[in-house]
Amino acid sequence: MSTSHGTGRLEGKVAIVTGAASGMGAAEAALFVAEGAHVVLSDVNDEAGMALAEDLGPNAAYVHHDVADEASWNKLIGLVDSTHGRVDILVNNAGLSRTGTLADLSLDDFDAMVRVNQRGVLLGMRAVSPAMRRAGRGSIINIASGAALRGVPGLLAYTGTKFAVRGMTQVAALELAPDQIRVNVIHPGAIDTPMHRENTPERQTELLALMPLKRLGDPRDVAEMALFLASDASSYVTGADFLVDGGAML
């Protein structure tokens, strides 16, 4: 994935993107680099993450990082601080989706999704906030889902974790506002990512039928929204929800 020529909207800023080895995270990382940012790509898929960082050039670096592990966050922030001396942007993009109803959801799957989707977001916001506080500003962008806005049968744990991300975003926005740290949440709909392609063909057809725009979203669609929230163009925006779903919630 190569970068296109940008307009410098993130010139000189330092960003961390979790789950950056593929899908929406990869698109966000590529767009941020194109717009002038130094981007740290965080993931556990080392092969894909290192390949993407190499493709994006000298302003991108890959770090193996478990978002649900506090020590891993401390190590990552220490590395970023020693290299760049600042953190301006965090995109909490890493996520996990497994199906399961109230009756048949396994506790192992429930715990795995809470660990990545909810605990990972909490630890990320907590880890970057001291550096952002010292700088007197920052932007945290949490990636949730349309499932954070209404229940989705068969996705009990996933829906619960995404509702939690939305709630944590609002509380963090209030707590961090005095330090000029903005916290917002993006709710993607059906986006053409590896996670979406794990759905059965029948489920993919069902999701497409819900789209008034009659197409899947591209990861770049979400990346463009993240760019807006990362940039100074959104300097008066915090605690807000942003749908990128082709009108599916209408």
Q: For the ranges 27-36, 72-81, 185-194, which has the lowest average pLDDT?
A: 185-194
Q: How far, rounded to the nearest angstrom, does the alpha carbon of residue 129 sit from its chain's CA centroid? A: 16
pLDDT at 250: 86
Can you tell me the distance from the alpha carbon of 27 to that of 221, in angstroms, rounded to the nearest whole number?
9
pLDDT in tens, 145-195: 999 999 989 999 999 999 999 999 999 999 999 999 999 999 999 888 776
2 pLDDT higher than 50: no
pLDDT at 4: 55
Residue carrying the six token digits 């993240």: 226
3-state class percentages of the chain: helix first, strand second, coil last, to nearest 5: 50, 15, 35
pLDDT at 199: 67
Strand locations in the chain (E): 14-18, 38-43, 60-64, 89-92, 138-143, 181-188, 241-244
Given the residues 32, 158, 163, 242, the one annotated as active site:
158
The helix/strand/coil state of 100 is strand
Give the CA angle between residues 74, 182, 24 to the nearest 5°.
70
Q: Tell which wins on pLDDT, 3 or 13.
A: 13
pLDDT in tens, 17-26: 999 999 999 9
- Decide if 62 is catalytic: no
242: left (phi over 0), alpha (psi -120 to 50) or beta: beta
pLDDT at 196: 64
pLDDT at 1: 53
pLDDT in tens, 87-138: 999 999 999 999 999 999 999 999 999 999 999 999 999 999 999 999 999 9
pLDDT at 208: 78
Going by C-alpha positions, the residue among 35, 36, 16, 9 that lies closest to residue 132 is: 16
pLDDT in tens, 47-76: 999 999 999 999 999 999 999 999 999 999
Cβ atoms within 10 A of the Cβ of 106, count?
Answer: 11
The helix/strand/coil state of 3 is coil
Question: Does the model's pTM come out above 0.85?
Answer: yes
User: Please, what are the domains in the chain?
Assistant: 14-243 (3.40.50.720)
Cβ proximity of 77 and 85 under 8 Å: no
> At what angle are helices 156-176 and 120-135 packed, to 10 degrees?
20
